[in-house]
Structure 1
């Protein structure tokens, strides 16, 4: 198979659809017989994933690796920023946390050269193993005040000598200004790498934009090689939790209403994607105490700053609503940070999350948590409630939770460990992300609230695989793939 040049999908702004298109091209190259791999030098997200060898990367690159049909690795996302507050983030380098930094210190400090060096080395390792490397940019490629410190966009494209395709979201408006301005601000050596423009999220008849394509080519000197129609029926796991509060916040009769507590620092919201696909379930996110009390099942999700989010839900009345729902016999479960919150106390003696050293929990589970400086990041196999079906999941957390009364573990792992805590059939907590991806867990969770059973067990992996194929076909229909391949096959 011919060696292709690397390719990058960059943006005029954040949330224009770069990850979506990147994922689609990962699947396209796999379908066409190549051996692709994703790469994003620096990602900022609370949605992360544990690699098979026990490290942490952004969830988007794990999804893209899945679309490529390969295991994910830290080389695919060497730098991950996990916001701990509005102004600070935990910095994860090659899968392990190296400390917390304010946004100012991170972007203005001297460490970016070292991080860029690590990012280039990670890309180089991928480039020797895979063909092609599919790079993703971050935000806008023309943020002039940050360009000389940026390790993700055009500096990385220059290092890789990648073909760059500029993605813009026409649904936001201001398309001509954003595309022209972005390209006009690039220096000549960067502009030379940009081979085409992709218009994303187009509504209506694309033929109406024929004159627009001509205008953009004349303005920018770069062709429009694709106009991607807006689609809501292709499912790819989202990278960010923006907009979760707008997801299905009305109650549905005849279904099990499941409320996920909308925390300010909610992480790994992909834990609940399978519930969204279950025909028996109506899933919504809320920080309204009245919604929490009325729900059939309440889930406390993961958090990047558990103590801060615990304080928030105590102040806004959600904590009281959760405790009341539990006393009234509703199902209440916690995952990762939510599991920690459900216990009797959380202690932070090393100031891992901040200056608050101790905080009483909700007192639902007889569990005490001490936050630790070392982070657990591992994939795991386990048996839920002693069931014979082996389940899969992963752990990403900084903390150890121990029972303050009789041990009552929820899960037994394949490695012989006990995990989580079960109070009764309607109340438990666990550190395992992805626990709800297992049919045996979902059926057990819903059994007290509906007599319906899934006619066919939902195969989440097969479902996602079919969606990657669907996305690839959608992109093929609306992008000039012949043009892209001609560019990728030309001599360096």
Structure 2
């Protein structure tokens, strides 16, 4: 039995498309198929390095993991990474091709050219996997962007996908958002909609039976599922809106880890593991007092190191971090945060803005130079002097070199024998390695340094696989799977 593609589109951003896509990737895998995710164009600062050295949105990497696949650039051929309020870096087939303003990007010529790349990536994926589980972006009814859209209904038509509209009932106005989204589509696109899924329902879903019938009568499209709101299943989030629900203050009786909130923060999923290890308390903050309460302070990655570093100097956080280090707190920098811990950051080509040079925090004897060339790779390494083989990935524009007579050991030793990162002492280190905290040896080392010698048996990779199964079960019970299969069986 062959299955044609299935696509999940939304009434709005953050309706839950990515999570539902992940759920169906897992469901199809559980049912014996070989699914693969696809999103034509993604906009996110949370990205991931594929084995072949390309860069894709983190959500597609998560969905690939739910499918039991290694991520590939064909799963997300176009990635936009905002670098300022006006411009985004454009990643095409895993490689940066320049920065553009929204006006430049949406010019007809650009989208026409990108559309060809998108279709070719989809066809390559379709030749290897079945079914392809596509994800739309934002709302399907952005009338001003319809002619230049390469992600939503145009992609559904090209793929011949059975398309399902996802609506977030938790934010209110579900009838208006569903009706408007459906009725603003031209007739040929409306015919692609096979069902509507109401997401994030709080309370007894059976009380929405009348609502389901009303929506069917209004739109002519059946409601095929009402997904209960959940808090007890962990799926990595891609959109920074997820940070709005994260802790912002320290607590008692745990190792407090403060991640400094940056304006262009990227890859905040680096720290998800800390929310599930009972020895630690993770919180995100730009409060000077909360930074001082932390046992460990982390400067995270950023899409614009120079701009975010300037903000840290102006709001007093840079000084607060240095003061915390001198008072015996541990300070860690990852990627852009690693660059910030050095003596200075140079941007001679003004890639990140008008500043050619910016003083760093001065904790590490390093100078970083922002360059056009982007390093994107997966890495295996040994952390400090431990024998355990760790895994991580690098995504950065820039090279970091030591400055001054003092030499300090690297933090990591890669499998080829070269060193990476810098360890000033047990209280301060930096690295380009995203995902470094996912390795148990690193968390055990940090916990022991903060006075907790207990070693955790927590395995983050196994935990995530369990969560995909929980999510699949949660969604499977809430939707009409027989109906959904009837719309994709060829």
TM-score band (shorter)? Answer: over 0.9
1: CA distance, partners of 2:89 / 2:434: 19
Q: For residues 245 and 210 of structure 1, do their structure 2 counterparts lie closer, same or farther at Cα, with a shift above 3 Å needed?
A: closer
Q: Which position in structure 2 is the counterpart of 1:297? A: 296
Q: Structure 1 stretch 176-185 or stretch 405-414: which is displaced more?
A: 405-414
Contact 1:166 1:194 in 2 (8 A): yes
SS in 2 for 1:447: helix
Shift of 1:440: 0.6
Q: Which position in structure 2 is the counterpart of 1:478? A: 478
Contact 1:180 1:216 in 2 (8 A): yes
- Residues matched between the structures, number: 488
Shift of 1:448: 2.4
Contact 2:391 2:435 in 1 (8 A): yes
Q: Structure 1 stretch 288-297 or stretch 444-453: which is displaced more?
A: 444-453
* Residues 160-171 of structure 1: pairs in structure 2 closer than 5 A: 160-171=159-170
SS in 2 for 1:309: helix
2: CA distance, partners of 1:439 / 1:477: 34
Q: Which position in structure 1 is the counterpart of 2:141? A: 142
Q: Which position in structure 2 is the counterpart of 1:450? A: 451
SS in 2 for 1:80: strand
Listed one character per residue, the Cα deviations across residues 437-480 of structure 1 (whole Å, up to 9, x for unaligned) are 001111111212232514x4211110000000000000110000
Q: Which position in structure 2 is the counterpart of 1:259? A: 258
Q: Structure 1 stretch 258-267 or stretch 237-246: which is displaced more?
A: 237-246
Listed one character per residue, the Cα deviations across residues 274-325 of structure 1 (whole Å, up to 9, x for unaligned) are 1111101111000111111121110000000000000011111111100100
SS in 1 for 2:143: coil
| Cα RMSD, aligned residues only | 1.0
Q: Which position in structure 1 is the counterpart of 2:102? A: 103
2: CA distance, partners of 1:451 / 1:46: 33
Contact 2:249 2:285 in 1 (8 A): no
Contact 1:245 1:262 in 2 (8 A): no
The reply on whether 1:347 has 2:346 as its aligned counterpart is yes
Listed one character per residue, the Cα deviations across residues 221-243 of structure 1 (whole Å, up to 9, x for unaligned) are 01000000000011000011224
Listed one character per residue, the Cα deviations across residues 183-237 of structure 1 (whole Å, up to 9, x for unaligned) are 0011111111100000000011111111111110100001000000000011000
Contact 1:368 1:401 in 2 (8 A): yes
Q: Which position in structure 2 is the counterpart of 1:53? A: 52
Listed one character per residue, the Cα deviations across residues 43-98 of structure 1 (whole Å, up to 9, x for unaligned) are 00000000001110000000000000011100000000000012211000000100
SS in 2 for 1:374: strand
Shift of 1:407: 4.0
Shift of 1:386: 2.1
Shift of 1:38: 0.1
Contact 1:395 1:433 in 2 (8 A): yes
Contact 2:48 2:55 in 1 (8 A): yes
Q: Which position in structure 1 is the counterpart of 2:249? A: 250
Q: Which position in structure 1 is the counterpart of 2:200? A: 201
2: CA distance, partners of 1:107 / 1:416: 45
2: CA distance, partners of 1:243 / 1:489: 35
State the TM-score, normalized to the length of structure 1.
0.98
Shift of 1:173: 0.5
Structure 2 spans left out of the alignment, 5+ residues: none
* Residues 406-445 of structure 1: pairs in structure 2 closer than 5 A: 406-445=407-446
2: CA distance, partners of 1:110 / 1:297: 49
1: CA distance, partners of 2:350 / 2:52: 28
Shift of 1:34: 0.3
Listed one character per residue, the Cα deviations across residues 94-123 of structure 1 (whole Å, up to 9, x for unaligned) are 001001111121123521101111001100
Contact 1:245 1:286 in 2 (8 A): no
SS in 2 for 1:123: helix
Contact 2:108 2:148 in 1 (8 A): no
* Residues 147-296 of structure 1: pairs in structure 2 closer than 5 A: 147-296=146-295
Q: Which position in structure 1 is the counterpart of 2:121? A: 122
SS in 2 for 1:62: helix
1: CA distance, partners of 2:2 / 2:77: 24
Q: For residues 245 and 16 of structure 1, do their structure 2 counterparts lie closer, same or farther at Cα, with a shift above 3 Å needed?
A: closer
SS in 2 for 1:372: strand
SS in 1 for 2:142: coil
Contact 1:280 1:452 in 2 (8 A): no
SS in 2 for 1:145: helix
Contact 2:444 2:453 in 1 (8 A): no
Q: Which position in structure 1 is the counterpart of 2:465? A: 465
